[in-house]
Chain A
Amino acid sequence: MHIFYTFILSQNGYGFASYNLKREVYMAKNAQHWEKTKGLLIITLVLWAIFSMGIFLFGAEMNTVTGPFGYPLTYWFTCQGSLGFFVILIFWFAGRQEKIDEEFGFSEKGDN
């Protein structure tokens, strides 16, 4: 029914303008969605870079410190710390991205 009404409206001159307006709103929404998505990407990649590369710039210094469970800190990061952090980071990212998609009504329906 809804589609039918839209069709009727667009038959008069009035409807054409409303179509253009809709398209602009749609584009703006897309652009905003993409801006937020890019923001999240940058945050995620900065965290990723720190724990996959950044901390290992100071590997030798960090290893003199005792880390979790008593392991040398750098050793612990290579065995468990960084790896576990990536797991958490990806789930966190997925959750945030879902929120962004929902905010703009872009999330998919019906499945998970």
Chain B
Amino acid sequence: MIKGNFIDNLPKIYGIYTGGFIAFIIIMAIGEQMGMSAKAIGIAFVGFTIFIYALIGWLSRTAQASNYYVAGRSVPTVFNGMATAADWMSGASFVAMAGGIYFKGYGYMALLVGWTGGYVLVATLLAPYLRKFGCYTVPDFVGTRYGGNTARLMAVIVLTVASFTYVTAQINATGTIASVALDIPFQYAVYVGLVSILLCSMLGGMRGVTWTQVAQYIVLIIAYLLPVFWISNNIGAGFFPHFMLADEVARIGELEQQFGFVKNSAEDLKLVPKGLAGITKAHSEVNATPWAFISLALAMMMGTASLPHVMMRFFTTPSVKAARKSVGWSVFFIFLLYSSAPMLATLSKLALIDPSLPTGIIGKSIAEVQAIDWYQNWNQANLMFVSDFNGNGTVELNEFFMAGKAVVLATPEVAGLPYVISGLVAAGGMAAAMSTADGLILAIANAISHDVYYKMIDPKAETAKRLLVARVLLVIIGFAGATIAAMEIQGILGSVIWAFDFAMSGLFWPLVLGVWWKRANKEGAIAGMVLGLVSGFAYLIWVRSGGSGFLGITQLTFGIFGSTVSLVAMVVVSLMTSEPSSATQKMVDDARVPAGQQVISQR
């Protein structure tokens, strides 16, 4: 299948694939009607999709370095956009985003703005120039532009710190979903997730990851949009939710006024299972200060432009021009999901709190709610909880608690959709977490195999040996990530946001100034990376251990501090030391012109 004019046949191949997946959903729906158990449907969805990804991974196997590292630089813009969107949208975006919006409202929306706006920086400041450079990895750019192994190694370290923080969260998410869908303990499910991830990437490297990510995007977007539209129609909110939920948003506001946000006592809250939250913030009101919103958005935007697993996706396009356009397609495909998350949050909240809807539980008697089937299911899974704190016998707004991920996972069932949708959602969440984990593990393994092993330790290594090292590293890093994920240190979202802050602290300015400021030199870049990462890290530890912080910079935005230190250090040290060589300056000139040969010639 993946031979000859595979690239020309892409629309057809993925068209057939999409049709096949929809047919599979319909078969499952029929199976459900005929009495197939919920457990069997869950296993079928997750098992079938993982099998398809593994098949694509196997078909994409390669023995060529350029295929392994940059998918042969032949990925068309639209498909690279889909792959980037899957690479980008993690288990957190898929499972936790709607929940974040549901519970935190406006303050959380800064993430949506940040995680899309960052691509403007990617498109204008970096992607086309790094593509012209012709590097295989992000540290490859740093190492070539600034020269010397120290700069290259520092870039590898920043990359590893940021990506590793991120990847544990993704493996954790695959484990959570696999454990629910396959009904096995989390400790084992994590390794099931890991093996699935490695199946996509080990044989084909970037090529395998690219074509599985496209397939995963198709699964995850169907799995996200179908329930949103269906629920919206089911509760009579509107045929096209994105344009039609204004009344529902207003209605939630009214209900919030009517119920009021009653504060629970600390003692009452002790009864609530860990990880569940109540509705304490207004749905559509501005509940954060401008700086809290803007600083979080800015940190996420600069972080986006510094995360190597995203940047390396734009190394796979056929040209510089294609790299730019492909960024546009990426945000378009991300937009499809992100713009739906607030709609899902709105529908989910209204369905549960509006007493005039049959699904509404506020105002019902405790006994009645506790007798509902879906309540019992999700309560057992520790994702939902009601308790009669004030002893009046009915459920009040402040007596209802839910886990963030339940918004995506439980709403279909609450709104009365068939179980087949829940199976689909599990497959979508798995696709989202797997695709991101693949990109991240590959980014780390490639940086170590290409930049540390090949460029620094053994520059004469044969291609076969290089690729062997790359694959061994992939497995080692995967297992390390899974082992840490199994320990469950941070919640899914916390560690994702940290990854952005680490990346921007160490890499944002060395990358941007590498293109836009010819005077930037090796010493400056090293100082920028070291001091940026160290100061960002120090700030995080300080705030985590009870420090007050300053300028409203929190543990979620510590990258603003880190990157500022990085910028100052880089400019000052660059100016204090000598100008880069004329060969380096010529390299920058060449990178700024789209036409002509790549700056680095790879073998």
Q: Mark A57-69, 1 if CB is under 8 A from B, else 0.
A: 1111001000001
With A and B bound together, what is the CA distance between A94 and B141 in angstroms? 22
Q: Mark A30-68, 1 if CB is under 8 A from B, else 0.
A: 100110010001001100100111001111100100000
Find chain B residues with CB under 8 A from A11 CB: none
Question: Do A78 and B112 contact each other (CB < 8 Å), given the known contacts A48-B120, A63-B285, A106-B594?
Answer: yes
Find chain B residues with CB under 8 A from A58 CB: 290
Q: Of A56, A60, A106, which one neighbours B595 at CB under 8 angstroms?
A: A106
Q: Of B121, B243, B286, which one neighbours A69 at CB under 8 angstroms?
A: B243
State whether A84 touches B339 (Cβ < 8 A).
yes
State whether A53 touches B594 (Cβ < 8 A).
no
State whether B293 touches A79 (Cβ < 8 A).
no
State whether B121 touches A48 (Cβ < 8 A).
yes
Kindly state whether residue A21 has any CB partner on chain B within 8 Å: no
A65 CB to closest chain B CB (Å) equals: 12
State whether A53 touches B246 (Cβ < 8 A).
no
Kindly state whether residue B281 has any CB partner on chain A within 8 Å: no
Kindly state whether residue B226 has any CB partner on chain A within 8 Å: no
Find chain B residues with CB under 8 A from A37 CB: 592
Find chain A residues with CB under 8 A from B109 CB: 75, 78-79
Find chain A residues with CB under 8 A from B77 CB: 112
Nearest residue (CB) in B for A52 is: B117
Find chain A residues with CB under 8 A from B285 CB: 63, 72
Q: Of B123, B125, B286, B290, which one neighbours A94 at CB under 8 angstroms?
A: B123
Interface residues of B in 327-371 (CB under 8 A from A): 327-328, 331-332, 335, 338-339, 342-343
Nearest residue (CB) in A for B122 is: A90
Question: Do A69 and B244 contact each other (CB < 8 Å), given the known contacts A91-B325, A101-B595, A107-B321?
Answer: yes
Kindly state whether residue A70 has any CB partner on chain B within 8 Å: yes
State whether B120 touches A53 (Cβ < 8 A).
no
Secondary structure at chain A's binding surface: helix, strand, loop or mixed? helix
A82 CB to closest chain B CB (Å) equals: 5
State whether B114 touches A52 (Cβ < 8 A).
yes
Kindly state whether residue B297 has any CB partner on chain A within 8 Å: yes
A90 CB to closest chain B CB (Å) equals: 4
Nearest residue (CB) in A for B294 is: A53
Find chain A residues with CB under 8 A from B592 CB: 30, 33-34, 37
State whether B593 touches A30 (Cβ < 8 A).
yes
With A and B bound together, what is the CA distance between A33 and B73 in angstroms? 26
State whether B593 touches A87 (Cβ < 8 A).
no
With A and B bound together, what is the CA distance between A98 and B594 in angstroms? 9
Nearest residue (CB) in B for A97 is: B324
Q: Of B106, B117, B318, B320, which one neighbours A75 at CB under 8 angstroms?
A: B106
Kindly state whether residue A83 has any CB partner on chain B within 8 Å: yes
With A and B bound together, what is the CA distance between A83 and B77 in angstroms? 20
With A and B bound together, what is the CA distance between A83 and B250 in angstroms? 22
State whether B338 touches A44 (Cβ < 8 A).
no
Interface size class of A (residues with CB under 8 A): 35 or more
Nearest residue (CB) in A for B301 is: A52
Find chain A residues with CB under 8 A from B322 CB: 111-112
Q: Of A45, A52, A105, which one neighbours B124 at CB under 8 angstroms?
A: A45
Question: Do A59 and B286 contact each other (CB < 8 Å), given the known contacts A30-B589, A79-B339?
Answer: yes
State whether B117 touches A51 (Cβ < 8 A).
yes
Find chain B residues with CB under 8 A from A80 CB: 242, 339
Q: Of A59, A71, A109, which one neighbours B106 at CB under 8 angstroms?
A: A59
B584 CB to closest chain A CB (Å) equals: 16
State whether A87 touches B332 (Cβ < 8 A).
yes
Kindly state whether residue A108 has any CB partner on chain B within 8 Å: yes
Find chain A residues with CB under 8 A from B125 CB: 41
State whether B294 touches A56 (Cβ < 8 A).
yes
Question: Do A90 and B293 contact each other (CB < 8 Å), given the known contacts A71-B246, A71-B249?
Answer: no
State whether B298 touches A72 (Cβ < 8 A).
no
Nearest residue (CB) in A for B589 is: A30
A80 CB to closest chain B CB (Å) equals: 5
State whether A86 touches B120 (Cβ < 8 A).
yes
Question: Do A83 and B335 contact each other (CB < 8 Å), given the known contacts A70-B246, A71-B249?
Answer: yes
Of B113, B293, B297, B301, chain A has the most CB atoms within 10 Å of the CB of B113
Question: Do A108 and B320 contact each other (CB < 8 Å), given the known contacts A33-B593, A45-B124, A91-B328?
Answer: yes
B113 CB to closest chain A CB (Å) equals: 5
Question: Do A57 and B338 contact each other (CB < 8 Å), given the known contacts A48-B120, A86-B331, A90-B327?
Answer: no
State whether B116 touches A82 (Cβ < 8 A).
yes
Kindly state whether residue B319 has any CB partner on chain A within 8 Å: yes
A70 CB to closest chain B CB (Å) equals: 3
A3 CB to closest chain B CB (Å) equals: 16
Nearest residue (CB) in B for A43 is: B124
Kindly state whether residue A93 has any CB partner on chain B within 8 Å: yes
Question: Do A60 and B286 contact each other (CB < 8 Å), given the known contacts A52-B297, A80-B339?
Answer: yes
A-B pairs, top 6 by smallest CB distance, nearest first, are A70-B246, A78-B109, A52-B117, A90-B328, A94-B324, A79-B342
Residues on A lying within 8 angstroms of B by beta carbon are 30, 33-34, 37, 41, 44-45, 48, 51-53, 56-60, 63, 69-72, 74-75, 77-80, 82-84, 86-87, 89-91, 93-94, 97-98, 101, 105-109, 111-112
- Sample 5 A-B pairs with CB under 8 A, ordered by A number: A45-B120, A59-B288, A69-B242, A90-B327, A94-B328
Query: 19 other contacts beyond A56-B297, A112-B77, with CB at 8 A cut-off?
Result: A37-B592, A44-B120, A45-B120, A52-B301, A53-B294, A56-B294, A58-B290, A59-B293, A74-B106, A77-B113, A78-B110, A82-B117, A83-B113, A93-B120, A98-B321, A101-B595, A106-B593, A108-B319, A108-B320
